[in-house]
Amino acid sequence: MSLVGKKFPNIEVDAMNKMGATFKVNVLEEAKKNNKKVVLFWYPKDFTYVCPTELFAFQEALKEFQDKNTIVIGASCDTAEVHSAWLHTSKDNGGIEGVTYPLLADTNRNLSNQLGILQIGEETYNEESDTIIMEGPNVTWRATYLIDEEGTIFAENVNVEPVGRNIPEYLRMIDAYTHFQKYGEVCPANWKEGKDTLKENRDSVANYLASH
């Protein structure tokens, strides 16, 4: 079920940053108290293959997000200690040394479960041990949430593990939503900052289509 248009869950989660100190982060409160947008991206596991390429891509674009009044937060179900080890391992050794934004450590799966992004298979019953076995890795898909200054989700995307994200698209969507917030004008397909927008009436759409 889509969460677009709804408030982000009001849940506090352990987090880690490059300084190596564990602290608590409530994404909803981060947006509201700082009057900033938030891009929260979930990845399956630390010390993997596609994941570090995404974390470094967000780091390379960090100033662009900050210039757009947006906080970047990464997240997985790994522990804060594993995050710390990854943050202090060099890129040459499979680490993400140099990443400066915080990483959530949703080890109890409270937040990811509420968002509905865990890779969980069906339950099976083992007669020999008389136990219920849960199939699936119980880690998250690659899920991304864009959250506005009031804590409302205005965009979400979830995709499978093998496919990495396109970070410029999130920057574009933040630009488009910010433009709508400021001017009340809507943004057509493939819109980029500085291009023509639309007013919500048929004449505006007709004129736009005729000129493109």
Tell me how far apart the alpha carbons of residues 149 and 36 are, in angstroms, rounded to a whole number. 5
pLDDT of residue 103: 98
pLDDT digits (tens, 9 = 90+) for 128-176: 777 866 666 899 999 999 999 999 999 999 999 999 999 999 999 999 9
* Band (28; pLDDT cuts 50, 70, 90): very high
Axis crossing angle, helix 167-183 with helix 50-60, rounded to the nearest 10 = 40
Tell me how far apart the alpha carbons of residues 159 and 125 are, in angstroms, rounded to a whole number. 29
Whether residue 76 contacts residue 41, with contact meaning beta carbons closer than 8 Å, is answered with no
Segment 49-63 shows an average pLDDT of 97
Closest CA to 114 of 51, 55, 33, 27: 27
Strand partners, 124: 133
pLDDT of residue 122: 65
Segment 5-21 shows an average pLDDT of 94
pLDDT digits (tens, 9 = 90+) for 74-86: 999 999 999 999 9
Lowest mean pLDDT among 31-40, 71-80, 166-175, 191-200: 191-200
Question: Cα-atom radius of gyration of the chain, to the nearest Å?
Answer: 19
pLDDT of residue 202: 62
Give the active site residue among 13, 25, 28, 51.
51
Structure tokens at 46: 């630390």
Task: Please state the φ and ψ torsions of residue 36, each to the nearest 5 degrees.
Answer: -130, 155
Is residue 51 among the annotated active site residues? yes
CB count in 10 Å sphere of residue 72: 22
Closest CA to 177 of 37, 3, 28: 37
Strand partners, 160: none
**Domains in the chain, start-ordered, CATH in brackets?**
12-165 (3.40.30.10), 166-212 (no CATH)
